[in-house]
């Protein structure tokens, strides 16, 4: 039984060495990653103890519905950016904007924005 533990430790060390060698051969630095992870954990630990983090938790920003809205915004932003890069978004003047207001999707977005502006403005007053 006394010889089993050293053999098991040697096997684990061999496995770790082989994994480290494979990672290094692919340009990955596990030591750097660990240092960065511990640094990030240290910073997160400090952040978690602040009043600002407590306020963030209670702000509604992390509410699933808020995250879904932000995700929808991000998706629309990325898709629009891709279209713009391909040249698929035409320039529009005032009359083009007025014409776009007939589109039900644009109407929904404008309704959302104006409702948001009203509620946000009310929150700013508080």
Whole-prediction pTM value? 0.55
pLDDT digits (tens, 9 = 90+) for 20-36: 888 888 888 888 888 99
List the domain range (segments joined by +) for residue 40.
10-68
Structure tokens at 42: 């240290």
Q: At residue 2, does pLDDT exceed 70?
A: no
What was the pLDDT predicted at 61?
92
In the chain, the number of structural domains is 2
- Do both 16 and 57 map to the same domain? yes
**Does 84 fall in a domain?**
no
pLDDT of residue 3: 64
Mean pLDDT, to the nearest integer, of 81-90?
90
Beta strands in 6-120 (DSSP E): none
Q: How far is CA 118 from CA 15, 110, 115, in A?
A: 61, 12, 5
Whether residue 76 is contained in a domain is answered as: no
Query: How much is the pLDDT for 49?
Result: 94
Q: Say what the pLDDT of residue 8 is.
A: 83
Report yes or no on 73 lying in a domain.
no
Residue 3 lies in a domain: no
């Amino acid at each position: 039984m006394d010889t089993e533990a050293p053999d098991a430790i040697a096997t684990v060390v061999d496995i770790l060495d082989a994994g480290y060698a494979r990672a290094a051969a692919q340009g990955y630095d596990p030591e750097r990653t660990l240092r960065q992870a511990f640094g990030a954990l240290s910073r997160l630990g400090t952040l978690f103890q602040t009043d600002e983090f407590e306020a963030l938790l209670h702000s509604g920003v992390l509410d699933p519905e808020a995250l879904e809205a932000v995700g929808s915004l991000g998706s629309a932003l990325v898709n629009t950016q891709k279209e713009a890069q391909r040249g698929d978004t035409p320039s529009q003047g005032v009359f083009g904007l007025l014409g776009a207001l007939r589109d039900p999707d644009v109407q929904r977005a404008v309704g959302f924005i104006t409702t948001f502006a009203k509620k946000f403005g009310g929150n700013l007053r508080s």
